[in-house]
Amino acid sequence: MKQLILYAICLSAAISFAQNAKIDSLTVRLAYQNQDSTKVETSLLLINELYKIEDYNKVLLFIAQTSELSKSLNYNRGLAETTFIKALINNKQENEVEAVSNFETARTYYTSVSDTLGIAKVNNNLGVIEIQRGNYKKGLQNSLSAISIFEEKGLKSELSKAYNNLADAYYNTGFVDKALQYNKKALSVREELDDLEGMMYSLKNLGKLYAKKDDYRRSIDSYERMLMLLDKEDDKSIRGEILPSLGKSYLAIEDLDKAADYLREGLKYSRNQKDELGVLKSLNAIGELSIKNKRLKLAEGQLLEALKLARKLDNEEELLYNLKLNRDLDSTRGFYEDAFNWQNQYYSLKEKLDKEKEASAKIPESTIEEISETPTEIIIPQKLEKVEDTLTASPEKSKQDLLLMYGLIAALVFVTALLIFSYLKSSKEAKSNKAFAKENKKLALKNAQLEEVNQVKDKLFSIVSHDLKDSISSIKAFLDLLKDGGISKEEFNELIPELSENANNASSLLFNLLNWSKSQMQNLQPKPELFNIQEIFQIKISLIEKKVNDKGIILIDESRREFVYADRSMLEIVIQNLITNAVKFTGKGDVITVSNQDYNGKVLICVEDTGIGISEENQKKLFNAKKNFTTIGTENEKGTGLGLTICKDLVELNNGRIWVESTPNIGSKFFIELPKAPLSE
């Protein structure tokens, strides 16, 4: 091993010596060359060598000299290369504005000399910057157009970087499948190049992505392949980062012995390197391992240390994991009140992180797919041409036309004034009466609208309050069972997650109700936003899972990720009412299916059931505000008769429509059609 280290040091020294010798040779050659394009090319070679060793001060000095010479020679290739390298340095120094400006200038120069490879290199870098800025469509188009050129020319080194950059961009924007795809491509190219450092980076990313998709076997394979490369290089500096992740994947597949080996080793390395994040990740995972092995006192100490570290580092992802583990620990120990508190903290943080994640999804996945599957062309700046307008009419004709126009305007003004005077004089009283009548009509219309709005609000509060009452009643029932000894501690322990979920739902409903009363009392106006409809389905389905299981109903979720432009709070009320109604009117063995799809450029939402159905006569009463129509459910469930009426009002307020298709004893389908984007004015 010592011989190998000595060999590596000698090799590094030899490479450094050779590099310095090359720089010295280029510097001497440059000094004796004439002021022509040959000198520019030599200078570019020297600039590239200095850039490799990151001597940016010298690079920028030579760039300034070479740019001046290139300008005097009108040598655009020299200007393109120097500006491109300057942009790379700006980017490394996190000077984004200068980097973008120089990249775009370099692209213009590359375009002038028809250098498609140069344009592709610029586009690749600009693509990553645009994606980081949130300009996903433009960024992805740039990156993909660059990749198509690199693939065409078989430039493995450039492809390696481009695939990696695109994989990182997809991961940071939440598109895990696309990130996996490009990390695999990057790994394949890096294996061909025998790029060990690049291979390790790609394998680490693959391990993380597979774990995110709960594909732990492949996650383990990726991490272990990376560890093999680390062993070959005798480089253990990042083992502390990988080992906790590998141990956690083994933990997920219940291989506790291997999980223990990797997690303990990871904690040891992280402590030795004073890597607090590595220690945090290791402690959390070891805490979970201790809970699984029933070593609860040990788990308490590990999770307490991890909790302090998570808060110190402000790492919300690991904090969320820690809160969940503390909840599980106290549930196992029978400390139900503490478990309930951990559960509340967990859901509060989870809700915050989910909102942040939703806010970061600035572009729908369908758009990403569209960009990815569209054949890419190299992106170059368009040339602007000036078009001069010419006046062909003679001066005499123009003068005559001008006089004629003035005459017509004067006549029009005179006639208009005469008509206005005549009208005012002859019908002053009639106009006054008409204005008075019009004002009365407006007041009557406004009163009617206010009355309608108040009715809608009353219905809305009735629905939300009804749901709130159900959640609180459920919580009270659990607590009464415990108080009266109706369930054992073990049984209560199993019910704690459901109890906490009900408390969280009640809190959420109450919060929505209070917010609604605060923001909507003056006027029932929607506050539309772009959000993922699949998340609403998942949340609302979780609320009725117990009822579905109790009634023996089969619930199928065929929803998919799709963005709707509407008031989220309003649509949550609508979806909850439709799903609750489906459960109400179905029985054992019946099927409820929720789905959504693109329909004529809009989102079509469907809640379908195989329940008792609705007669044609009753269908006409469903959405009628004046009828207040209600029927008894399959288990004598009662309703307010307001649900579908308020649903109709809320859907229409969001520029949508709702309707039903139903056959008695066959089932019902409730459809909602909503826009995917703001309606154009």
What CATH number should be reported for the domain holding residue 603?
3.30.565.10
> pLDDT over 90 for what percent of the chain?
15
Q: Which of 211-225, 291-305, 355-369 has the lowest mean pLDDT?
A: 355-369
- 633 and 548 together in one domain: yes
Residue 5 lies in a domain: no
- Whether 585 has a pLDDT exceeding 70, the answer reads yes
- 645 and 550 together in one domain: yes
Instruction: Report the alpha-carbon distance of residue 423 to residue 436 in Å, rounded.
Output: 18
Q: Which of 99-108, 231-240, 477-486 has the lowest mean pLDDT?
A: 231-240
- Reported as a pLDDT band with limits 50, 70 and 90, residue 417 is low
* End-to-end Cα spacing for the chain: 73
- 506 and 655 together in one domain: no
Nearest to 241 by CA among 256, 259, 223: 223
- 632 and 644 together in one domain: yes
Give the predicted TM-score (pTM) of the model.
0.48
Burial 304-323 (b: 16+ CB within 10 A, else e): eebbebbeeeebeebbbbbb
- 541 and 634 together in one domain: yes
- 530 and 679 together in one domain: yes
Q: What is the CATH number of the domain that holds 445?
A: 1.10.287
- 673 and 597 together in one domain: yes
Residue 681 lies in a domain: yes
Instruction: Give the residue from 467, 498, 524 where a domain finishes.
Output: 524
Instruction: Give the residue from 524, 549, 571 where a domain finishes.
Output: 524
* Residue 163: partners with Cβ closer than 8 Å, 6 or more residues away: 147, 182, 183, 185, 186, 189
The token pair that represents 9 in the structure block: 């040091």
* Residue 166: partners with Cβ closer than 8 Å, 6 or more residues away: 127, 128, 140, 143, 144, 147, 182
Q: Which of 226-235, 355-364, 517-526, 615-624 has the lowest mean pLDDT?
A: 517-526
Are 564 and 626 contacting, i.e. CB atoms less than 8 angstroms apart? Answer: no
Q: Hunting for tokens 């006054």 — which residue is that? A: 432
- 485 and 628 together in one domain: no
The pLDDT tens digits for 374-410 are 444 555 554 333 323 333 333 444 445 445 454 555 5
Residue 620 lies in a domain: yes
Number of domains in the chain: 2
- 666 and 530 together in one domain: yes
Q: How many CB atoms lie within 10 A of CB 17?
A: 10
- 479 and 577 together in one domain: no
- 519 and 531 together in one domain: no
Q: What is the extent of the structural domain holding 583?
A: 526-681
Instruction: Give the residue from 504, 524, 544 where a domain finishes.
Output: 524
The pLDDT tens digits for 531-549 are 999 989 988 888 788 788 8
The pLDDT tens digits for 321-349 are 999 999 888 888 877 777 777 888 888 88
- Reported as a pLDDT band with limits 50, 70 and 90, residue 519 is very low
Burial 505-529 (b: 16+ CB within 10 A, else e): bbbbbeebbeebeeebeeebebebe
Q: What is the mean pLDDT of the chain?
A: 76
Residue 41 lies in a domain: no
Residue 607 lies in a domain: yes
Are 602 and 673 contacting, i.e. CB atoms less than 8 angstroms apart? Answer: yes
Q: How many CB atoms lie within 10 A of CB 402?
A: 10
- Reported as a pLDDT band with limits 50, 70 and 90, residue 361 is low
Residue 533 lies in a domain: yes
Average pLDDT, stretch 477-491? 66
Burial 596-614 (b: 16+ CB within 10 A, else e): beeeeebbebbbbbbbbbb
Average pLDDT, stretch 120-136? 79
> pLDDT over 70 for what percent of the chain?
68
- The per-residue pLDDT for 458 is 58
What phi-psi label fits residue 510: left (phi over 0), alpha (psi between -120 and 50 degrees) or beta?
Answer: alpha
Residue 37 lies in a domain: no
Instruction: Report the alpha-carbon distance of residue 95 to residue 89 in Å, rounded.
Output: 9
- Reported as a pLDDT band with limits 50, 70 and 90, residue 133 is confident
Residue 48 lies in a domain: no
- Whether 181 has a pLDDT exceeding 70, the answer reads yes
- Whether 54 has a pLDDT exceeding 80, the answer reads yes
- 563 and 621 together in one domain: yes
669 burial type by CB count under 10 A (0-12 exposed, 13-18 middle, 19+ buried): middle
- The per-residue pLDDT for 127 is 81
- The per-residue pLDDT for 217 is 92
- Reported as a pLDDT band with limits 50, 70 and 90, residue 659 is very high
